[in-house]
Amino acid sequence: MDAFLETSMTASKTVLIILSVTIIVRCIRSMLSERYESEVWAYIRMGREMLPVNHWENIIGRSRGADIRVNEPGVGRVHAVLKRSDRGIWTIYDVFSKGGVWVNGTKVGSRGINLETGDVINLAGTCVRFQDITTEKREKLESARTSAGKRVSPFMTLFELTVFQLFLLLQHAISAHANHLPNIVLGFVLLIILEWTCYNAMRLMSRSGFEAETLAFYLTTLGMSVTASSTPEDMFKQILLTIASVLLFLLCGAWLRNLKRTAMMRDPIAVLALLLLAVNVLASDAVFGARNWLELGGYSFQPSELVKVAYIYVGASTLDRLYRKRNLFGFIAFSAVCVMALALIGDFGMALVFFVSFLVISFMRSGSIATVFLAVTGAGLAGFLAISVKPYIAQRFASWGHVWEDVYGAGFQQTRAMSAAASGGLFGKGAGSGWLKDIFAANTDMVFAVICEEQGLIIAICMVLAVLTLAFFAVRSARHGRSAYYSIAACAAMSMLMVQMGLNVFGSLDILPFTGVTFPFVSRGGSSLLSCWMLLAFVKGADTRRDASFVVRSVRKIEEYHVGYDAETDDYDYDSDGTEEDEP
C-alpha cells in the first residue's frame, strides 16, 4: 500500500469516528432530550373537581395507578376504561367491575358506549360527568405539542450519514479486490439512494421524525460494510434485501396506523405465525445445528424471524381489551408453542429472545412480578432439560468462560472474535483490512468483532448505542402512546432487539454462552434484516411527537374527517382514506 493510500485510510478512519459519534449524539439529542408537555384531552367532572384526562386510553378506578382516580366506596380498583379513538370519539368500557357502569342510565356492556360532553357516568353509585375539550382547545393542544426535528435537523443527520457511507466506501475502494469493486460501489450507492428516497417520502407526508430510520440506516450501513469485507459477491443480494426490508417497514407502519384493523387481525396473524413455525419444524433442513432455515429461490430464509414480528403484533394489547380479558392464558399458550417450536428446531438463542420478550409483554400487561418469577422458574427448568438432552448446547455452556483453553475446538470462534476485536484498538484497521472476516460466520455471529477490528471499538460502541437509543426512545414514547397497544409493542420490539444484540455481542466475546443469534440490522442474513426493519415500525407507532411519525395519524387531519362518521359502529371506510394524508 503506498503512502498516499495509507494516509487516506488514516484520515478516513478519523472522519468515520467523528461522524459516527456525531450521528449518535444528534439522534440522542433529538429523541431523548426533547420535553413532552402534559396534555389534557377531556375532563371528568366529579362534584366540583375537574379531573383531567391525559391519555387516549385511561383507567378509571380507585387504584393509585389509575389514570383517573375516583376514590369512592363501591368503585373498583380498576373499574372502567375510557378510550379516545383517533377520530376523537370517546368510548367507555366496563372492565368486569363489581358495581357496574351506566351512561345516562344505560348499562355499559363489554362493547362500550360512546360519550358526548355532558353525559353522566355512573360508577357503582358515584356519578361523574364527562366533558370533551372544545375544538379550539384541541387545536391549541395540537400546536403546542412538541414536534420532532426542530432542535436537530434530520436532514443534517442524514447528510452526515451519507458522508459516513462515502468514506466507508472509500476505505473499501482501497482495500477491496478490483473484481468486487463494482458490486460494492453499487451496493453503497443504492443504499444512499434508498435512504434519501425514504427521507423524501417522509417529507412529502409532512413528517419530520427521521431519527429512528437514520439509526437503522446507520446500523444497516455497518452491516453492508461487513458484507463488503467478508462476502463482497453477496453485495447486490444484500442491497436488494435492504430495499425489500425498508418497503416492508413502510408497509407495516402504514398497516399499524389503523389500530382497529390492527387489533382485529391479531388472531389470524397468530394462526399464521403458528403455521409458519409448523412448516419450519416439519420441512426445513438442518443447517449448522439448527433446523431453522428454509431454502426459497436462492435465499435461505428463517421463518422464525417473521414469527418474531407476529409475536409482538399478537402480544401487544389495547387497554380495554387488556382489562376485559383479565388473563394472559391465550398469550401464554401462544408463547409456549412458539418457544417450544424453536426449541424443537434447535434454535435456543432465538427461543431465549422470544422468552425475554414474553417476560416484557406479560409484565407490561399484567404488572405481576409473580407471573414473571413463575415464568423464569419454568424456563429455567426447561433450559436445564435442554442442556441435558442436547449435547451441543451443554458443550457451549461448558466452554463458556474457558474459551482460551480450547482455541481449536469449542472456543474457536470466540477466541478469534476476541483477538480480532482487540487487534482493532479504538480506531480500527480500516474496512476490508481485517482478518476475522474470513472466518466462518464472521458476518453473522461475530459482526461486533468484525466492526471492532475494522472500524475500532468507538464505532462498535456507537453501534450498540444506536440500538440502546432506540430502546430508550421506545420507553420514553410509551408514556405518550396513543394506545397501550403501541406502547407495549414498541417496548417489546426493542427488548427483543436488545436481547438479540446482547446475546450476539456478549456471546462472541465469551461474556455469555455462544448462541449464534444475529446483531439487529448489522448481521448478514435476509430474514433477520427484514424482521428488524418490521420491528422498527412498532417503534415508529409509539412516536407521538407532532407530525413526527408516519405511523401516527396527524390529529388535525383526523378532525377534518369528522363528517360522515358512523357513530353506531365507530367505524370508517378505512381503505379509502389511507392516501389523502400522504399529501402535504
Q: Of the two residues 192 and 451, which places its CB atom closer to another protein in the complex?
A: 451
Contact range with another protein by CB under 8 A, out of 37-45, 329-337, 389-397, 410-418: 410-418
Q: Of the two residues 187 and 424, which places its CB atom closer to another protein in the complex?
A: 424
What DSSP assignment string belongs to 432-449? T--SGGGSTTTTTTTHHH
Contacting another protein within 215-234 (CB under 8 A): none
- Residue 224 in contact with residue 192, Cβ under 8 Å? no
Contact range with another protein by CB under 8 A, out of 57-65, 95-103, 236-244, 554-562: 57-65
Give the bridge partners for 42, in sequence order: 53, 132
Which three cell numbers mark 18? Answer: 467523528
Which three cell numbers mark 439? Answer: 472466518
Give the bridge partners for 81, in sequence order: 59, 93
| Binding residue for another protein, selected from 113, 478, 530, 536, defined by CB under 8 A | 478
475 is an interface residue for another protein by CB under 8 A? yes
Q: How far is the CB of 485 from another protein (least distance, A)?
A: 10
Contact range with another protein by CB under 8 A, out of 187-195, 289-297, 337-345, 485-493: 485-493
10 Å CB burial of residue 522 (0-12, 13-18, 19+) is: buried
Contact range with another protein by CB under 8 A, out of 56-64, 167-175, 277-285, 345-353: 56-64
Secondary structure of residue 566 in the 3-state scheme? strand
x/- mask, another protein, residues 433-472, rule CB under 8 A, reads --x-----------------x--xx---x--x---x--xx
Q: How far is the CB of 579 from another protein (least distance, A)?
A: 31
The residue among 195, 242, 204 whose CA lies nearest residue 223 is: 242
Compute the 3-state secondary structure of the chain and give helix, strand, coil in percent, each to the nearest 5: 60, 10, 30
Q: How far is the CB of 44 from another protein (least distance, A)?
A: 15
| Binding residue for another protein, selected from 424, 516, 520, 541, defined by CB under 8 A | 424
Q: How far is the CB of 442 from another protein (least distance, A)?
A: 12
x/- mask, another protein, residues 493-532, rule CB under 8 A, reads -xx--xx-xx--xx--x-xx--------------------
- Residue 432 in contact with residue 171, Cβ under 8 Å? yes
Q: Of the two residues 60 and 192, which places its CB atom closer to another protein in the complex?
A: 60
16 is an interface residue for another protein by CB under 8 A? no
Phi and psi (nearest 5°) for 291? -90, 60
395 is an interface residue for another protein by CB under 8 A? no
Residues in the chain: 584
Phi and psi (nearest 5°) for 257? -55, -35
What DSSP assignment string belongs to 500-513? HHHHHHHHHTTSS-
484 is an interface residue for another protein by CB under 8 A? yes
Q: How far is the CB of 476 from another protein (least distance, A)?
A: 9
Q: How far is the CB of 520 from another protein (least distance, A)?
A: 12
Report the distance separating Cα 356 and Cα 354, nearest Å: 6
Contact range with another protein by CB under 8 A, out of 86-94, 119-127, 393-401, 426-434: 426-434
Q: How far is the CB of 94 from another protein (least distance, A)?
A: 18
| Binding residue for another protein, selected from 34, 415, 559, 561, defined by CB under 8 A | 415
Rounded to 10 degrees, the C-alpha dihedral 463/465/469/472 comes to 140
248 is an interface residue for another protein by CB under 8 A? no
AA identity, residue 405: E
Q: Of the two residues 162 and 335, which places its CB atom closer to another protein in the complex?
A: 335
Whole-Å CA distances, 51 to 194, 237, 317: 48, 57, 26
360 is an interface residue for another protein by CB under 8 A? yes
411 is an interface residue for another protein by CB under 8 A? no
80 is an interface residue for another protein by CB under 8 A? no
Report the distance separating Cα 487 and Cα 495, nearest Å: 12
474 is an interface residue for another protein by CB under 8 A? yes
What DSSP assignment string belongs to 176-215? S-GGGHHHHHHHHHHHHHHHHHHHHHHHHTT----HHHHH
356 is an interface residue for another protein by CB under 8 A? yes
Contacting another protein within 298-327 (CB under 8 A): 319
The residue among 166, 158, 159 whose CA lies nearest residue 215 is: 158
Q: How far is the CB of 421 from another protein (least distance, A)?
A: 8
| Binding residue for another protein, selected from 479, 560, 574, 578, defined by CB under 8 A | 479
Q: Of the two residues 242 and 433, which places its CB atom closer to another protein in the complex?
A: 433
10 Å CB burial of residue 468 (0-12, 13-18, 19+) is: middle
Which three cell numbers mark 549? Answer: 411519525
- Residue 314 in contact with residue 334, Cβ under 8 Å? yes
Pairing type for strands 68-69 and 299-301 reads: unpaired
Contacting another protein within 375-394 (CB under 8 A): none
In the 8-state DSSP scheme, what is residue 299? E
Give the bridge partners for 496, in sequence order: none
What DSSP assignment string belongs to 311-346? HHHHH---HHHHHHH---HHHHHHHHHHHHHHHHHT
x/- mask, another protein, residues 60-79, rule CB under 8 A, reads ---x-xxx------------
Q: How many CB atoms lie within 10 A of CB 378?
A: 12
Q: How far is the CB of 377 from another protein (least distance, A)?
A: 18
Q: How many residues bind another protein (CB under 8 A)?
A: 62
- Residue 83 in contact with residue 91, Cβ under 8 Å? yes
Q: Of the two residues 149 and 428, which places its CB atom closer to another protein in the complex?
A: 428
| Binding residue for another protein, selected from 95, 270, 491, 532, defined by CB under 8 A | 491
The residues that touch another protein, with contacts defined as CB under 8 A, are 54-59, 63, 65-67, 319, 356, 360, 363-365, 367, 404, 407, 415-416, 418-429, 435, 453, 456-457, 461, 464, 468, 471-472, 474-475, 478-479, 481, 484, 487-488, 491, 494-495, 498-499, 501-502, 505-506, 509, 511-512
